[in-house]
Structure 1
Amino acid sequence: MTDWTPDLVEERLAEAAFVLKRLPEPRRQGYFSTWPEMVYSFADKVGQEPRPMRVLPSPLAISRMEETLTWTACLEPIDGKIVWMKAHGERWKEICWAVGLQRSAAHQHWQFGISVIALTLNRRRFNRNMSKRRVIELAAGA
């Protein structure tokens, strides 16, 4: 892929967040149980919640996710936090509470973040002193 757009960056970040959710929980090494696995009868299972099925992501999806994790290194911390919260599917209300910004300002930070990532991936040079609006317009025109 040579031409990254903010929409493609957004999709890739959402995919990376989805892959992160599907990865198995880390286990502590060295701890194990000598007790046998419990076998439940039907009466025991009546009130229980079913265990969620976990489908592991493919190795290709994990590789893309690992590549995507490095993309936010070029962003300011607040922009990176907003970009990842939005990728994880958080609502704007929770994002605004977490970063302490109004919705319009948080949305502009998010657009700026994915625009900077798109410009960086396309290896396009831009002045870091440009306004956020100008960087967003530059990435949209790319």
Structure 2
Amino acid sequence: MAEWTVQRVADRFQEAAITARQLPAARVQGYASYWPDIQRQSWEGYADERIVLRFAASPAAIDRFGETVRWMRWLDQDQRRLVWLRAQQVPWREICARTGLIRKTAWRHWLHSLALVTVNLNESLPRFAEVEREERALRHGLAD
């Protein structure tokens, strides 16, 4: 497989956040109703506002989600929070309000966290010129 880059790792975290939203909600087990489900007519469904359409995640996406979440073990708690907030496409302004960092510092911490994951995936230190090139590419695609 090709070497991991910071951009590929960021894309993978973003895909994991999308997959997490597609997974079914966790529910408490134990209570059950033995009444049959009500079969509604098509015209009755229009008034029900509780219906939420969800698209199920594919098995391959769930496998990649599990692998990506395991990458979090290489990060500390603040780094995990920052990476996951950014993967959920939370705007930088809100991330700064939640973390107490200014935008540039939050962006540097996020980039450092992605670089840590990249180094662990590649099992080697990246060359400085390659990291600078990726940093410039990420900086130009940072419009929020």
Query: Deviation at 1:76?
Result: 2.6
Q: Structure 1 residues 110, 83: closer, same or farther in 2, change over 3 A?
A: same
Q: Measure the CA separation in 1 of the matches of 2:108 and 2:40.
A: 53
Q: Report the residue type matching 2:82 in the other structure.
A: I
Q: Structure 1 residues 96, 137: closer, same or farther in 2, change over 3 A?
A: farther
Q: Normalising to structure 2: TM-score of the pair?
A: 0.78
Equivalent residue for 1:100?
Answer: 100
Equivalent residue for 1:12?
Answer: 12
Q: What secondary structure is seen at the aligned counterpart in 1 of 2:56?
A: coil
Query: Deviation at 1:77?
Result: 1.9
Equivalent residue for 1:24?
Answer: 24
Q: Structure 1 residues 67, 42: closer, same or farther in 2, change over 3 A?
A: closer
| Aligned 8 A contact 1:119 1:125 in 2 | yes
CA RMSD of aligned residues (A): 2.6
Per-residue CA deviation, residues 74-117 of structure 1 (Å, 9 max, x unaligned), is 12321221111000111112211111111111111111111111
Equivalent residue for 2:141?
Answer: none
Q: Which stretch shifts more, 28-37 or 7-16?
A: 28-37
Q: What secondary structure is seen at the aligned counterpart in 2 of 1:71?
A: helix
Query: Deviation at 1:10?
Result: 0.6
Q: Alignment length, in residue pairs?
A: 134
| Aligned 8 A contact 1:9 1:118 in 2 | yes
Equivalent residue for 1:57?
Answer: 57
Query: Deviation at 1:120?
Result: 1.2
Q: What secondary structure is seen at the aligned counterpart in 2 of 1:82?
A: helix
Q: Structure 1 residues 123, 48: closer, same or farther in 2, change over 3 A?
A: same
| Aligned 8 A contact 1:112 1:136 in 2 | no
Equivalent residue for 1:131?
Answer: none
Q: Normalising to structure 1: TM-score of the pair?
A: 0.79
Q: Structure 1 residues 141, 92: closer, same or farther in 2, change over 3 A?
A: closer
Task: Map residues 36-47 of structure 1 onto 2, 5 A cutoff.
Answer: 36-40=36-40, 45-47=45-47
Q: Report the residue type matching 2:38 in the other structure.
A: M
Identity %: 32
Q: Report the residue type matching 1:91 in the other structure.
A: P
Q: Report the residue type matching 2:30 in the other structure.
A: G
Q: Structure 1 residues 88, 51: closer, same or farther in 2, change over 3 A?
A: same
